[in-house]
Amino acid sequence: MKSLQLSLSAIFLFGMTELIFSQSNEEWHAYGKDAGGMRYSGLTGINTENVVHLKEAWVYHTGELETYKGTYLHEKSAFEATPLMINNTLYFSTPTNRVLAIDAVTGKEKWTYNPHINLKGDYSEVTSRGVSYWPAKNNTGSSGKIFIATIDGRLISLNAKNGELITSFGNNGTIDLRAEFSKDIAVTSPPAIVGDVIVVGSSIGDNQRKDYPPGVVRAYHVHSGELLWTWDPIPKTSSDPAAKTWEGSGSGAANAWAVLSSDAERDMVFIPTSCPSPDYYGGERLGQNLYGNSVVALRASTGKMIWYYQVVHHDLWDYDIAAQPLLFDWEKEGKKIPAVAIGTKMGHIFILDRENGKPLFPVEERPVPASEIKGEKAWPTQPFPVLPAPIGLQQLTSDEVWGPTPEAKKEALERVAQLEYKGPFTPPGRKGSIMIPGNVGGIHWGGMCYDPGQKLLVTNINRLAAVITLIPRDSLQQTEKEDPVLARSETGRQTGTPYVMKRSYLFTGDERGLMMQTAPPWGTLLAIDMQTGKQKWEVPLGYMMDTLQYPGAAQWGSINFGGAIVTGGGLTFVAATMDGHLRAFDTQTGKPLWSAALPAGGQATPMTYSINGKQYLVIAAGGHGKLGSKLGDAVVAYALPDQYLQNR
């Protein structure tokens, strides 16, 4: 009996040792943790019981603010990178595409690489959401590789050990994407790596002119840089049935600037495409416009299309698919079905079968308003998911028009009364059309995450309306002279079309600060049960108005950019807001459990890992120039003090 007890004890201890060992080192190999962007870590070291004790472990400064001196870059820069963690090293990129490797335990710098982009160049976006990693294979004698795609259109291969260029790749370590395709190409998201294939999209403008280049997706061999295949989202041959969905003198863009996802087992890569150019007038590209505004599944080894699913027909609202497609296993009646979730700026979430693109929850084509603009022909219907039901701001009634004082609400009501609103997908017009949601979401590039244990999809969203006005080109000067407010609005030249676009939002900015004109909350975090498709909870995320001047503002939420992650400890971590805090929520209930003030705006998605049983939480805190959050250059790590550590 005694020997049996000893044997059982030995088995128990061995099991515990295995458990402890299995959690001693967990890495973060891709932007979304895994290649399918689930952003889930099974780590439980930091959990709902002890997260309140989380403390800053170290801070690393990139020196990026020095880089901006004497340039305009601070106006557009956004530190949106999510680091990777491999072999006790964090790898990430700065907005100007410098690549840094630092010790994941201490935050001490190991190496840096500077691609020396032209700091006086004209870039639409000054950001990089991170780098990609190709793992060294056993017995090959090769090192792991880090890839960075830059805002000046280069794809660069580096040795993960020392940051040196891998000269056997491309031209001495670099492929000039602009030389091969177009001077307009920039890249802001990390490429996808599937086996020995690296797939890269592009960030191309869409509202300054009609004739932007098409958003061609390219695949290269990770070792040689040999071009393996290309895929054009705008079909050029009559043999492709989608070519019939384009009528007119031409268009461009429809590019994939968001993060790509891949499924190596199925040899698939998932391409989220944007709207064709120009984004708010489609008279030069009448028709459904396939494969714009779609998720397209390609064979990673060949580039051959497997299926596509379009979420917006003939886009007139800048409704790019900004979020990374999320790959997860959807369960029904005990059966697991490989699925992909598409989150959109409209607040629509489409759940599709990953292998064939067919909806797993019902979707309806519903009538939407017609356009009154000469030369335009809005598509008569749009797809609406029945489940999950659309999230975020979906309509505008007198109750949704808002101001913190009676005078401010009156001002908001008067403004709205002068504009056009006909419900979802109201087309742009001469009078000024209200877009709900606006072009910043709904679900934005921060995207979604999924907890497979609780079967919850979690996402943060914006609740913000845009105002779009189309002005005949020959009357622009007179219109701006007569309407100073319109003159100060953002301008899209839309060269090559009869109309100039003006864009603003339903808020005002004056000595009172940012004054929203739609009811709070303006940013929320929510969870959806993926077994039923129904929303489980929703809570305000952050704040953006003076909480002393406006009692209750702490519950009004904030415009936000950057995503969330979920963990096996039952936690959701997210920053993203204007108030500069990183927060932890209970994934099961949405209850806020912890927050910490960051040294600058946290417009990035955090990540987590463990080394020797100690779990770390890391986020880039460098702010967002266009959003107006505090700029900085910090990477901040958090961990539990030793007395709260478990299983070490």
Q: Which of 345, 311, 546 is nearest to 462 (CA)?
A: 345
Choose, from 184, 206, 279, 318, the residue flagged as catalytic: 318
Give Cα 116 to chain centroid, integer Å: 25
Tell me the C-alpha distance between 480 and 483, whole Å.
5
- Would you state the structure tokens that stand for residue 493, as one six-digit string? 């030249």
Q: Residues, the chain, total?
A: 648
| Catalytic site includes residue 318 | yes
What residues does 99 pair with on adjacent strands? Answer: 93, 113
Contact residues for 274 (Cβ-Cβ < 8 A; gap 6+): 204, 206, 215, 253, 254, 255, 256, 257, 258, 292, 293, 320, 321, 322
Q: Are 498 and 531 in contact (CB under 8 A)?
A: no
Q: Are 566 and 579 in contact (CB under 8 A)?
A: no
Q: What is the DSSP track for 529-574?
A: ETTT--EEEEEE----S-TTTSTTGGGS---B-S-EEEETTSEEEE
- Would you state the structure tokens that stand for residue 48, as one six-digit string? 């709902």
- Say if residue 407 is exposed, middle or buried (CB neighbours under 10 Å; 0-12, 13-18, 19+): exposed
Rg (CA), the chain: 24
Q: Which of 451, 439, 440, 452 is nearest to 564 (CA)?
A: 451
611, 616, 620, 623 alpha-carbon torsion, rounded to 10° = -170
Question: Which amino acid is present at 119?
Answer: L
Question: Which amino acid is present at 204?
Answer: I
* Catalytically active residues, by annotation: 318
